[in-house]
């Protein structure tokens, strides 16, 4: 709790100044150094507007023609709050009053992210929960929780597989799409189309290495790797899956073939399969199916004449938005990929299911690098705004959530409008005094944003005799700055608290209260009317 | 290159990651391709001297490889000729694993190297802060001797000025002394490269960005523990050299 104000000027209390009809000590008559632009009336008006809008809400009980599931990987509530302030401040506002696009959605709930076997989960069981309706095991994708760790028999995996909302949408004649800034074979996007007991089996070489490590005969594991599963989907999904875009190119190329962009690197597949070529050849050939790997080719894709689009823009994950090359040889933004996807999917009068993941919020947090996480979150919000604008909220259910949180905190008592990436500066005790850095018990400044653990720990820096460094505003707002962490870990970790669900469209009213994460699937299923 | 301006790039990523980004040397001259073998000796305050494993440097125009053959580990730094962006692969042959660091990941980890320092074992610019005390010759190659003090350490560097590599680096404090000595120099890089870069298709390739989601992987745990120890040693100044002697 903040300590009570110490009236440093009490000795001057006999000096009065006239302010309106009140007598105010002169020392307290100065303008506050911080504060928002709002008038007193604005607070009341805002609250009344909120009530009026709420009264106008009605439960949209229609079936959803389309469902879009947006997942910010690792986008906990603190990430959303910090990104909101960051985005607002970049627009010249104080920041706190700002709203990211999806924060204006009418329905919000909390999602409990534990999995069958984890208190704090990874992306595999959490996305499994959201797209199948069942909580699963750590590291497993869209199989039930009775699946043995490392199970590699294709028949057993088939018997344990849980149908996903994407597969059910395909069976219902809808178009489908998967987009991510992570590898398209990474856990979150992969859970929509793949079934496996090990999320790391993204290419066949990983399965071969597993066999070698556990003394299994080469080729004895019959389950397909995740990249191959994307190509070898059921006939219904093959016809339905119009768009798959993200990173992970090396998992789709044989190890005999050089990468088209990083020409000194090859693919990793040992089975000789060239999956991008197979994507094109098994989906109607070059006249209807396309494979692109750079922004120029992506931009050139005509959604009207393209039936199936595979985009693999990096060998591994796509770049952070902060680092993205927007030139012809670079890669598209998440917003651009979302827009192109919806253009293609909207061609189906039966509707569509689309999953869009901002996959790298998670990675930036793991690196202890808040600024990249926030920039990716802001880009995620832009993609959602684009999707909302391109669809009809009366027939399109848009859900926005996260798979899990991170140990990312917004700390101290920074004054209104304090730069979210900066050092904490508190409201001064006396109006008119300037804001100054708050200091810890060692007399050192500290940042608003920080992590409970991770690589930002600086306890052993020899440059300071204290246990913490003396930070400057210039350092902490730089894109490469790693926020301080309490516990030194090579990678910052996920966190176990709930994440938010934001909903708009048909059946969005079903998103309410504190929900189990797997209930998100049930909302989508209900909305589709399956 | 480091807080004290003259860090030995004994382990490439280790020293680079922990010391943070440094300024580029775009005006630095091209250096000749070379493979070099070094050995480090460390003497502690109780006058015990330990000899570290051989440490190799393989330098080409767009690639710098550092390796410790005894540990079966190597680091391959590659610079894109067009963009100047640097990528890193850490090779762990015993575990048949390769860890890849993209340019963005190196930036995110504050681990972008100074390319010229990387290929010269130490930052050539840091020599400017030392006094040139004489010249000499090693196997027909000109040598310049530098002496001075940086960050409380007494430094002596015998510098091969054409090859832009140290022949000897002697660093000492009141508590310890480390001497890095060049054992052999070869203008050909092929043989050394073949020896330390023997990656087969069955090696598992890991993206370092995935480490946060692989905390239960024993290999990732071991690498992160190793990097954590090295970070502590590096932040402790000369302690990184003590590690090299283990
Ligand atoms: Zn993660």
Asked if A402 and A73 count as a contact pair (C-beta separation under 8 A), the reply is yes
- Out of A8-22, A228-242, A259-273, A377-391, which region has the weakest mean confidence (pLDDT)? A8-22
Question: Average pLDDT for residues B80-106, to the nearest whole number?
Answer: 91
Query: What pTM did the predictor assign?
Result: 0.88
Residue A22 pLDDT level (bands cut at 50, 70, 90): low
ipTM of this predicted structure? 0.85
Among A115, A121, A123, A333, the active-site one is: A123
Residue B82 pLDDT level (bands cut at 50, 70, 90): confident
Q: Is A385 helix (H, G, I), strand (E, B) or coil?
A: helix
Q: So what's the pLDDT on residue A452?
A: 97
- Out of A422-426, A463-467, B179-183, which region has the weakest mean confidence (pLDDT)? A463-467
Residues of A in contact with B237 (CB under 8 A): 462
Q: pLDDT tens digit string along A137-150?
A: 999 999 999 999 99
Q: Is A441 a catalytic residue?
A: no
Q: pLDDT tens digit string along B156-193?
A: 999 999 999 999 999 998 888 999 999 999 988 888 88
Calculate how close chain B gets to A220, using CA atoms only, in Å: 16
Nearest by Cα to A526 from A136, A67, A57, A58: A67
- Out of A206-210, A379-383, A443-447, B106-110, which region has the weakest mean confidence (pLDDT)? B106-110
Q: So what's the pLDDT on residue B29?
A: 57
Residue A52 structure tokens? 């009026």
Query: Per the CB < 8 Å rule, is B209 touching A212?
Result: no
Q: So what's the pLDDT on residue A26?
A: 60
Question: Average pLDDT for residues B214-225, to the nearest whole number?
Answer: 90
Please report, rounded to a whole number, the percentage of residues in chain B having pLDDT higher than 70.
Answer: 81
Tell whether the model's pLDDT for residue B126 goes beyond 60. Answer: yes
Please report, rounded to a whole number, the percentage of residues in chain A having pLDDT higher than 90.
Answer: 87
Q: So what's the pLDDT on residue A448?
A: 98
Q: So what's the pLDDT on residue B233?
A: 46
Query: Per the CB < 8 Å rule, is B108 touching A492?
Result: no
- Out of A18-27, A141-150, A262-271, A412-421, which region has the weakest mean confidence (pLDDT)? A18-27
Tell which wins on pLDDT, A461 or B162.
Answer: B162
Q: pLDDT tens digit string along B10-47?
A: 333 333 333 333 333 444 557 889 999 999 999 988 88
Q: So what's the pLDDT on residue A27?
A: 58
Residues of A in contact with B102 (CB under 8 A): 314, 316-317, 319
Query: Per the CB < 8 Å rule, is A270 touching B202?
Result: yes
Q: Is A68 helix (H, G, I), strand (E, B) or coil?
A: strand
Tell whether the model's pLDDT for residue B74 goes beyond 80. Answer: yes
Q: So what's the pLDDT on residue A24?
A: 59
Report domain extents, chain B.
Answer: 5-123+186-230
Residues of B in contact with A488 (CB under 8 A): 228
Query: What single DSSP character describes residue A322?
Result: G
Q: pLDDT tens digit string along A280-301?
A: 999 999 999 999 999 999 999 9
Tell whether the model's pLDDT for residue A309 goes beyond 60. Answer: yes
Residue A376 pLDDT level (bands cut at 50, 70, 90): very high
Q: What is the 3 state secondary structure string of chain B?
A: CCCCCCCCCCCCHHHHHHHCCCCCCCCCCCCCCEEEEEEEEEECCCCCEEECCCEEEEEECCEEEEEEHHHCEEEEEEECCCCCCEEEEEEECCCCEEEEECHHHHHHCCCCCCHHHHCCCCCHHHHHHCEEEEEEEECCEEEEEEEEEECCEEEEEEEECCCCEEEEEEEECCCCEEEEEEEEEECCCHHHHHHHCCCCCCCEEEEHHHHHHCCCCHHHHHHHHHHHHHHHHHHCCCHHHHHHCC
Calculate how close chain A gets to B235, using CA atoms only, in Å: 5
Asked if A468 and A442 count as a contact pair (C-beta separation under 8 A), the reply is yes
Which residues, 6+ apart, have CB-to-CB distance to A33 below 8 Å?
A415, A427, A428, A431, A432, A433, A434, A435
Residues of B in contact with A461 (CB under 8 A): 235
Taken in order of first residue, the domains within chain A and their CATH numbers are: 66-407+499-528 (3.40.720.10), 411-492 (no CATH)
Q: Max CA-CA distance within chain B?
A: 55
Which residue on chain A is closest to B224 by alpha carbon?
Answer: A490
Query: What single DSSP character describes residue A403?
Result: S
Calculate how close chain B gets to A100, using CA atoms only, in Å: 25
Query: Per the CB < 8 Å rule, is A206 touching B228?
Result: no
Tell whether the model's pLDDT for residue A263 goes beyond 60. Answer: yes
What residues of chain A have any CB closer than 8 angstroms to a CB in chain B? 122-123, 138-139, 187, 200, 205-206, 208-209, 212, 250, 255, 264, 268, 270, 314, 316-317, 319-320, 323, 360, 362-367, 369, 372, 455, 460-463, 479-480, 482, 488-493
Q: So what's the pLDDT on residue B174?
A: 84
Q: Taking all residues of chain B, what is their mean pLDDT, rounded to a whole number? A: 80
Tell whether the model's pLDDT for residue A69 goes beyond 90. Answer: yes
Tell whether the model's pLDDT for residue B241 goes beyond 90. Answer: no
Which of A247, A256, A491, A492 to mutate against chain B (most B CBs within 10 Å)?
A: A491
Q: pLDDT tens digit string along A113-137?
A: 999 999 999 999 999 999 999 999 9
Tell whether the model's pLDDT for residue A256 goes beyond 90. Answer: yes
Q: Taking all residues of chain A, what is their mean pLDDT, rounded to a whole number? A: 93
Tell which wins on pLDDT, A10 or A198.
Answer: A198
Residue A9 pLDDT level (bands cut at 50, 70, 90): very low
Residue B3 pLDDT level (bands cut at 50, 70, 90): very low
Nearest by Cα to A457 from A420, A410, A489: A489
Please report, rounded to a whole number, the percentage of residues in chain A having pLDDT higher than 70.
Answer: 93
Question: Average pLDDT for residues B69-75, to the nearest whole number?
Answer: 91
Q: So what's the pLDDT on residue A23?
A: 62
């Amino acid at each position: 709790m903040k300590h009570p104000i110490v009236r440093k000027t009490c000795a001057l209390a006999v000096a009065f100044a006239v302010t309106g009809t009140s007598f105010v000590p002169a020392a307290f008559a100065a303008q506050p150094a911080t504060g928002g632009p709002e008038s007193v009336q604005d607070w009341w008006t805002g609250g009344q507007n909120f009530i009026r809008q709420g009264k106008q809400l009605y439960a949209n009980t229609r079936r959803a023609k389309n469902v879009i599931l947006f997942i910010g990987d690792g986008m906990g509530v603190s990430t959303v709050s910090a990104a909101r302030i960051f985005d607002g401040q970049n627009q010249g506002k104080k920041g706190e009053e700002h709203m990211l696009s999806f924060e204006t959605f009418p329905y919000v709930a909390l999602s409990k992210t534990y999995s069958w076997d984890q208190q704090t989960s990874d992306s595999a069981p959490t996305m499994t929960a959201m797209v199948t309706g069942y909580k699963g095991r750590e590291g497993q994708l869209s199989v039930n929780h009775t699946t043995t760790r490392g199970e590699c028999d294709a028949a057993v995996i088939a018997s344990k597989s849980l149908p996903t909302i994407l597969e059910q949408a395909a069976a219902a004649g809808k178009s489908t799409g998967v987009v991510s800034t992570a590898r398209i074979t990474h856990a979150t996007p992969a859970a929509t189309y793949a079934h496996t007991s090990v999320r790391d089996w993204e290419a066949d070489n990983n399965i071969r290495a597993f066999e070698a490590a556990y003394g299994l005969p080469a080729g004895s594991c019959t389950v397909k790797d995740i990249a191959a599963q994307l190509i070898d989907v059921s006939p219904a999904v093959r016809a339905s899956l119009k768009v798959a875009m993200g990173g992970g190119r090396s998992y789709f190329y044989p190890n005999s073939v050089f990468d088209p962009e990083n020409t000194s690197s090859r693919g990793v597949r040992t089975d000789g399969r060239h999956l991008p070529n197979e994507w094109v050849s098994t989906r109607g050939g070059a006249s209807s199916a396309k494979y692109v790997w750079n922004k120029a080719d992506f931009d050139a894709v005509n959604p009207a004449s393209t039936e199936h689009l595979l985009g693999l823009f990096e060998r591994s994950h796509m770049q952070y938005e902060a680092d993205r090359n927007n030139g012809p040889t670079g890669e598209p933004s998440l917003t651009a990929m979302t827009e192109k996807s919806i253009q293609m999917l909207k061609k189906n009068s039966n509707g569509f299911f689309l999953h869009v993941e901002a996959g790298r919020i998670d990675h930036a947090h793991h690196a202890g690098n808040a600024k990249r996480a926030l920039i990716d979150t802001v880009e995620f919000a832009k993609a959602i705004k684009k999707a909302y604008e391109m669809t009809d909220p009366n027939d399109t259910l848009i859900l926005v959530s996260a798979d899990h949180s991170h140990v990312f905190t917004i700390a101290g008592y920074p004054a209104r409008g304090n730069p979210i990436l900066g050092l904490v500066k508190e409201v001064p005790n006396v109006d008119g005094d300037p804001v100054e850095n708050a200091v810890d018990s060692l007399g050192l400044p500290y940042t608003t944003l920080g992590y409970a653990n991770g690589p930002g720990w600086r306890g052993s820096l020899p440059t300071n005799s204290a246990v913490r460094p003396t930070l400057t505003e210039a350092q902490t707002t730089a894109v490469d700055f790693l926020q301080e962490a309490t516990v030194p870990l090579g990678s910052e970790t996920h966190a176990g608290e709930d994440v938010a669900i934001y909903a708009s469209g048909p059946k969005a009213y079903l998103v309410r209260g504190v929900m189990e994460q797997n209930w998100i699937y049930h909302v989508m299923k209900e909305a589709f009317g399956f | 290159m480091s807080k004290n301006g003259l860090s030995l790039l004994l382990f490439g990523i280790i020293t680079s990651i922990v010391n943070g980004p440094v300024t580029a040397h775009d005006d630095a001259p091209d250096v000749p391709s070379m493979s070099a073998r070094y050995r480090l000796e460390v003497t502690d305050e109780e006058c015990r001297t330990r000899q570290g494993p051989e440490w190799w440097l393989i330098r080409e125009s767009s690639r710098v490889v550092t390796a410790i053959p005894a540990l079966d580990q190597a680091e391959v730094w590659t610079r894109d000729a067009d963009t100047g962006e640097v990528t890193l692969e850490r090779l762990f042959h015993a575990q048949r694993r390769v860890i890849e660091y993209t340019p963005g990941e190196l930036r995110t980890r504050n681990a972008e190297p100074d390319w010229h320092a990387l290929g010269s074992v130490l930052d050539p610019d840091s020599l400017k802060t030392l006094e040139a005390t004489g010249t000499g010759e090693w196997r027909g190659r000109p040598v310049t001797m530098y002496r001075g003090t940086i960050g409380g350490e007494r430094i002596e560097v015998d510098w091969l000025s054409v090859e832009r590599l140290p022949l000897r680096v002697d660093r000492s404090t009141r508590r310890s002394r480390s001497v890095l000595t060049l054992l052999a120099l070869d203008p050909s890089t092929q043989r050394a490269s073949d020896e330390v870069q023997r990656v087969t298709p069955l090696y598992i390739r890991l993206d370092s960005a995935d480490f946060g989601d692989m905390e239960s992987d024993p290999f990732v745990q071991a690498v992160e523990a190793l990097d954590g120890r090295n970070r502590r040693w590096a932040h402790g100044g000369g302690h990184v050299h003590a590690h090299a002697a283990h």
